[in-house]
Structure 1
Amino acid sequence: MKDLVRQKLSINVDVMDMLNEQIAKEAHSSSIYLAMASWCDHNALNNSAKFFYDQAEEEREHMMKIFRFINDNGGTSYSPEVSNIPHDYNSLEEIFESALGQEINITKSIHNIVLKCRKVNDLATENFLQWFVKEQMEEEQTMRKALDLFELMGTDGIALKLIDERIPTIKG
């Protein structure tokens, strides 16, 4: 019976499996952003802390969007386990560099799912994922804008406080 149900899905089985992997990646990103927010809180970087708390919530929303899509289309979503979350950072710049790397990895993963959708003619899922393609472009751009501030202002003393004050303006 289980095989019969999987054959009657609105989405391709292999794509569904990739989407479940993406759920885990989004959950992992959310947890990483929480750890980054905590580091910022402990270092009196209040705007950056809020930024990363918001990022954590946004990644969870992405996870839930995919989770519901799978279930709404006859598939089975799996609640992910989250582990291996780094909590120690040396600087705010390092955090934003890590965040950019995280976003680039998520972008690549989304693109791979889109390419798989095209290969197996899963048009509905490809259409659903277009929102994520656009979102990832914006996420990468946001992290790059933050890193531009470090390059422009430096990382010592008052520059760090000035960067933290500008963080709310980078989201775009």
Structure 2
Amino acid sequence: EFTAAQQYVAIAVYFDSEDLPQLAKHFYSQAVEERNHAMMLVQHLLDRDLRVEIPGVDTVRNQFDRPREALALALDQERTVTDQVGRLTAVARDEGDFLGEQLHAV
């Protein structure tokens, strides 16, 4: 989620530079949403007195030749994050942790 947030900021900045303010606004908003999701996961771990290690974020892409490239990357990233959350939900259910139901809101 932290990497997704940073990638959305990079996409938003690209759209700002291309004078596409509505797309920029959307991706700035998405960046905040992804960061909030990450913080929900952190808080969940803290609430269970678990040790939390915040990883560095993966490299984000900052350059795009066309708006379509930025949108395709965003779609691919959403699919990746959705898959990761799905796997996390399955593990939570297997462990008897009700995080799974909470993650559907994410």
User: TM-score scaled by structure 1?
Assistant: 0.58
* 1:128 counterpart (97, 102, 105): 102
| Structure label with greater radius of gyration | 1
Task: Say which is worse superposed, 77-86 or 97-106, in terms of deviation.
Answer: 77-86
- SS of match in other structure, 1:75: coil
Per-residue deviation, residues 44-64 of structure 1 (Å, max 9, x unmatched) = 111111111111111111111
Report how far residue 92 of structure 1 moved.
Answer: 1.2
Q: CA deviation at 1:79?
A: 2.0
AA at the equivalent of 2:73: S
Q: Please, what TM-score do these two structures have when normalized by structure 2?
A: 0.91
Identity of aligned residues (%): 27
Per-residue deviation, 1:39: 0.7
* In structure 2, C-alpha distance between the alignment counterparts of 1:95 and 1:34, rounded to whole Å: 11
Match runs of 1:1-172 below 5 Å: 26-122=1-97, 124-132=98-106
1:86 partner amino acid: R
Measured in 2, the distance between the counterparts of 1:83 and 1:113 equals 19
Note the C-alpha offset of 1:90. Answer: 1.4
- Paired with 1:112 and 1:83, the residues of 2 have a C-alpha distance of 19
Deviation at 1:121, TM superposition (A): 2.5
Task: Say which SS state the counterpart of residue 61 (structure 2) adopts.
Answer: coil
**Which consecutive segments of 4 or more residues in structure 1 shift more than 4 A?**
none
Count of residues paired in the alignment: 106
More helix by share: 1
Q: Structure 2 CA distance, aligned partners of 1:64 and 1:121?
A: 22
Partners of 2:28 and 2:62 in 1: CA distance? 14
Partner Cα separation in structure 2 for residue 92 and residue 86 of structure 1: 13
RMSD: 1.3
Q: Residues 83, 112 of structure 1: CA spacing in aligned structure 2 closer, same or farther, 3 A cutoff?
A: closer
Deviation at 1:130, TM superposition (A): 2.5
Measured in 2, the distance between the counterparts of 1:128 and 1:52 equals: 24
Give the Cα–Cα distance (whole angstroms) in 1 for the partners of residues 73 and 55 of structure 2: 22
Structure 1, unaligned stretches of length 5 or more? 1-25, 133-172
Aligned partners of 1:106, 1:117: CA distance in 2, in Å? 16
Q: Secondary structure at the match of 1:131?
A: coil
